[in-house]
Chain A
């Protein structure tokens, strides 16, 4: 009799403790790319989240913080399935990450249906800043057309009159092209959006040469970058200046340096962030990231860091009650935390309103290649379709 009561009590205590444990843990599910050559970006994003978690002491508002990473293999249907798995199986409280715009387009509806807050730490699909905005969607990075719009501005400032545009044929790639077309005042003499499987630009480069533009605009992130820049030099095109968005960053600069691609030194691109942005939290982030990974962070890592800090700000504002979605959301909208880009201000559509800078590839004190912020190109810039958001 006593034994039975003891066992029951013990069981009840364990169950209660387990349940209480569950209530005390905040789970953030992160969908990123951990397989395929593009995992070079995913690794940066993962490290960015991890540094943020370390700075938070693995806690949010006193509760234990758990990060769960899943791989999307750059496929929208897999990203969607992993999002479902994080929600239904791992019972995460928040969703974050998402490198690719077409992956988040397929995955976000899943989060919306489950009433979970989803924070993009990279994918800047224009759908979500305009008509498709949603109260539970936050973007801690940028909208796709903003960075190339800044580049278009820069091109005008540099006196470029004719431009050839090269990009990738998927959601983000198309929106990058839209962006530069919005602000660039000169003439676009050619446009090629190549499929994601493309690796040899001989045909396109011949067309570029024939068009003889003042400059070439490219969007070739991740592993497309090294292949393209190598071929550009081999085709003898380096006299024609290259302008890129997202094609040279902290993730692939070490690769370029190890392959002695010197023609990339001095190249300029635009972004809302740079590793030498002057504020204390950015300095600390860059230093700790370098300690952890022996590499400079790229914007992928910076965004991931800010994304987790953003969620933390929301949970703190809700007094630690992470299940109170409304309070958390309000806290996130206020974004009262020291962001790596200085001050983070959100528009109604939960996209940042921020500056965009020109950054140049330079050598640091140790001779390592790094991107350095040079001038401000756009100030307090919001995504162009923000007005279409009915929030």
Chain B
């Protein structure tokens, strides 16, 4: 058993989980509080990536680029909510799914034309291009450490915001009981716009911090979106804590699965069978888990109280 490999895959899975969490957090808030199925959440992820790429290129600095791109993505998200998405709160989920699906189609094409098929990249500053030994033989790329650290900081900040501030209280109340919050005289419209903007900023942040690794390209949001939906269903719609735990679990299962399931299969079947069953099972695994959770505990593993 190669423990260094196992440790590195744990690390990679954890990092994937952090990115998933950032995307899922916004999604679960918007879903939980506004009851909005927003397929275009992946598009906001893409916004962050491309804006940060362009600003980095213009300013010559990755940090400045991301610093400017964050508020721009936040504003873009709020604009999207204010101009179009807020009309969907009254509508049923079917309408929401279709309208946001239309947004995906439109923006994917727009970004493909605006930035060209080669997409955009963010260059890591030299001091982040190296690797760091963790312990023993385990060596990890510096930048992935940065991703995990910043993701955890954001998670912490989110926790603080939601549990210790007034607006956080409104968010928690809205997630458990929307009607009551409105009845209590809170400016619901503004709360919704703020929550949506927050979700957009989180998704955009995830998009921009992953771009130095995977490049920004049109359509990059869809893959992570589907996984994020799985995460929030498993974690419990409206629950940030649930999103965090489910995201980490999902990231670990996906990465460890891809790395080790074919090896595990070799123990019970021949090479050709393992090469077939391995990838099949590892990609199906996370959906099987979601189905099981839905069948056994439909509200998710950590639903917000009162749900």
- On A, residues with C-beta under 8 Å from B are 35-40, 43, 169, 195, 197, 199-200, 202-203, 206-207, 209-210, 223, 226-227, 230-231, 233-236, 252, 255, 259-260
Closest to A254 in B: B118
Pick from A39, A199, A233: contact of B220, CB below 8 A.
A199
On chain A, the residues within 8 Å of B12 by CB distance are 202-203, 206
Residue of A nearest to B13 (CB): A203
B9 interfacial by beta-carbon distance below 8 Å: yes
Can you name 12 A-B pairs with beta carbons within 8 Å?
A36-B117, A38-B117, A40-B118, A169-B279, A199-B223, A203-B9, A223-B118, A223-B217, A231-B213, A234-B129, A235-B131, A252-B118
Q: Is the CB of B121 within 8 A of A226?
A: yes
* Partner among A227, A233, A236 whose Cβ is within 8 Å of the Cβ of B214: A227
- B113-147: CB near A (< 8 Å → 1, else 0) gives 00001110101100001110000000101011000
> Which residues of A sit under 8 angstroms from B283, Cβ to Cβ?
195
Choose from A200, A210, A231, A235 the contact partner of B2 (Cβ within 8 Å).
Answer: A210
Kindly state the separation between the CA atoms of A295 and B21 in the bound complex, as whole angstroms.
41
Q: A40-B117, A223-B117, A223-B119 are in contact. Are A210 and B217 (CB under 8 A)?
A: no
**B54 at the A interface (CB under 8 A):** no
A210 contacts B117, C-beta separation under 8 Å:
no
Instruction: Answer yes or no: B5 CB below 8 A from chain A CBs.
Output: yes
Whether the pair B141, A227 counts as a contact (CB closer than 8 A) is: no
> Is A206 in contact with B9, judged by CB distance below 8 angstroms?
yes
Once the chains are docked, how many angstroms separate the CA of A200 from the CA of B15? Answer: 11
Contact pick for B112, options A37, A206, A233, CB 8 Å: A37
Interface residue B177 (Cβ < 8 Å from any Cβ of A): no
**B255 interfacial contact with A, CB 8 Å:** yes
Tell me if B299 is interfacial: C-beta within 8 Å of chain A: no
Render B88-129 as a binary contact track against A, CB cut-off 8 A, 1 for contact: 000000000000000000000000100001110101100001
Please provide the chain B residues from 198 to 253 with a CB less than 8 Å away from any CB of chain A in the complex. Answer: 210, 212-215, 217-220, 223
- Contact between chains at B121 and A37 (CB < 8 Å): no
Q: Contact at B16–A206, with CB atoms within 8 Å?
A: no
Alpha-carbon gap, A236 to B219, bound state (A): 28
Q: Which residues on B are within 8 Å of A, measured CB to CB? A: 2, 4-5, 8-9, 12-13, 15-16, 112, 117-119, 121, 123-124, 129-131, 139, 141, 143-144, 210, 212-215, 217-220, 223, 255, 258-259, 279, 283
Which one, B4, B13, B118, B213, contacts A230 given CB within 8 A? B213
Tell me whether A200 and B117 are in contact (CB under 8 A). no
Contact flag A234-B141 (CB < 8 Å), given A203-B259, A207-B259: yes
Known: A199-B215, A223-B117; 14 extra A-B contacts, CB below 8 A, are: A36-B117, A36-B219, A37-B219, A38-B117, A199-B214, A200-B213, A202-B12, A203-B12, A203-B255, A206-B12, A207-B5, A230-B215, A234-B212, A259-B123
Contact B259 A206 (CB under 8 A): yes
Residues in B neighbouring A227, C-beta threshold 8 A: 213-215
Does the CB pair B214–A200 fall under 8 Å? yes
Chain B nearest CB, measured from A105 CB (Å): 20
Judging by beta carbons under 8 Å apart, are A226 and B215 in contact?
A: yes
Residues of chain A lying within 8 A (CB to CB) of residue B279: 169, 195
CA distance A205 to B191 in the complex (A): 44
How far apart are the CA atoms of A252 and B116 in the complex, in Å? 13
Q: Determine the chain B residues whose CB is within 8 A of the CB of A234 once the complex forms.
A: 124, 129, 141, 143-144, 212-213
Closest A residue to B143 by beta carbon equals: A234
Chain A residues with CB below 8 A from B220, complex form: 199
For the complex, what is the distance from the CA of A145 to the CA of B121, rounded to whole Å?
32
Measured in the bound complex, the distance between the Cα atoms of B212 and A226 in whole Å is: 11
Complex CA–CA separation, A195 to B254 (angstroms): 14
Which A residues are in CB contact (< 8 Å) with B9? 203, 206
A37 to B49, CA, bound (A): 15
A263 to chain B, nearest CB (A): 10
Residue of B nearest to A191 (CB): B275
CB distance from A34 to the nearest CB of B (A): 9
Q: Taking the nearest CB of chain B, how far is it from the CB of A195, in angstroms?
A: 8
The closest CB in chain A to the CB of B142 belongs to A234
A260 engages B123 (CB within 8 Å): yes
A-B pairs with the 6 shortest C-beta distances?
A236-B131, A202-B12, A210-B5, A206-B8, A39-B117, A199-B214
Nearest opposing residue in chain A for B130, CB measure: A236
CA distance A200 to B20 in the complex (A): 13
For the complex formed, measure the closest distance between the CB of A120 and the CB atoms of chain B, giving whole angstroms: 22
User: A37 and B218: CB pair below 8 A?
Assistant: yes
Q: Is the CB of A203 within 8 A of B258?
A: yes
What is the CA–CA distance of A255 and B118 in the complex, to the nearest angstrom? Answer: 8
The answer to whether residues A43 and B117 also contact, given A37-B217, A231-B213, A234-B124 and a CB cut-off of 8 A, is yes
Other-chain contact of A202, B118, B130, B144, B212 (Cβ < 8 Å): B144
